[in-house]
Amino acid sequence: MKVTAQPSADLLTLLLDGELDASSAIVLDTQLAKPEILNYRKVLVDCTKLSYISSAGLGVFISHLQPLQDKDVKLVFFNMQEKVFNVFEILGLDALMTIVPTQAEAISA
Amino acid sequence: MKSALRIACSRQNLQQVRDFVRGHLTGRGFADVAVNQVVLAVDEVVANFIIHANGEDASQYLDLTLLLKNQALDVEITDQGDTIFLPVPAPAPDLREYIRQSRKGGMGMVLVNRLMDRVEFFTRGNHTVCHLSKVLT
pTM of the model: 0.96
Task: Tell me the β-bridge partners of A44.
Answer: A13, A76
Interface of B with A in 108-137 (CB under 8 A): 108, 110-111, 114-115
| Residue B121 near residue B128 (C-beta atoms within 8 A) | yes
Contacting B with CB below 8 Å, chain A residues are 19, 21-23, 52, 54-56, 58-60, 62-67, 82-83, 86-87, 90-93, 96
Q: What are the tens digits of pLDDT across the range B12-48?
A: 999 999 999 999 999 999 999 999 999 999 999 999 9
| Residue A50 near residue A84 (C-beta atoms within 8 A) | yes
Confidence at residue B137, expressed as pLDDT on a 0 to 100 scale: 82
B19 touches chain A (CB under 8 A): no
Burial A55-93 (b: 16+ CB within 10 A, else e): bbbbbbbbbbbeebeeeebebbbbbbbebbbbbbebbeb
Cα–Cα distances in Å, from A86 out to A94, B74, B86, B116? 9, 22, 27, 14
Task: Spell out the domains of chain A, with CATH numbers in brackets.
Answer: 2-108 (3.30.750.24)
pLDDT in 10s for each residue of chain A, 109 residues: 999 999 999 999 999 999 999 999 999 999 999 999 999 999 999 999 999 999 999 999 999 999 999 999 999 999 999 999 999 999 999 999 999 999 999 999 8
- What residue segments make up the domains of chain B, in order of their start? 2-135
Task: Tell me the β-bridge partners of A7.
Answer: A12
CATH superfamily of B2-135: Histidine kinase-like ATPase, C-terminal domain (3.30.565.10)
Q: What are the tens digits of pLDDT across the range A21-38?
A: 999 999 999 999 999 999
Q: What are the tens digits of pLDDT across the range B57-109?
A: 999 999 999 999 999 999 999 999 888 888 887 788 999 999 999 999 999 99
Secondary structure class of B118 (helix, strand, coil)? strand
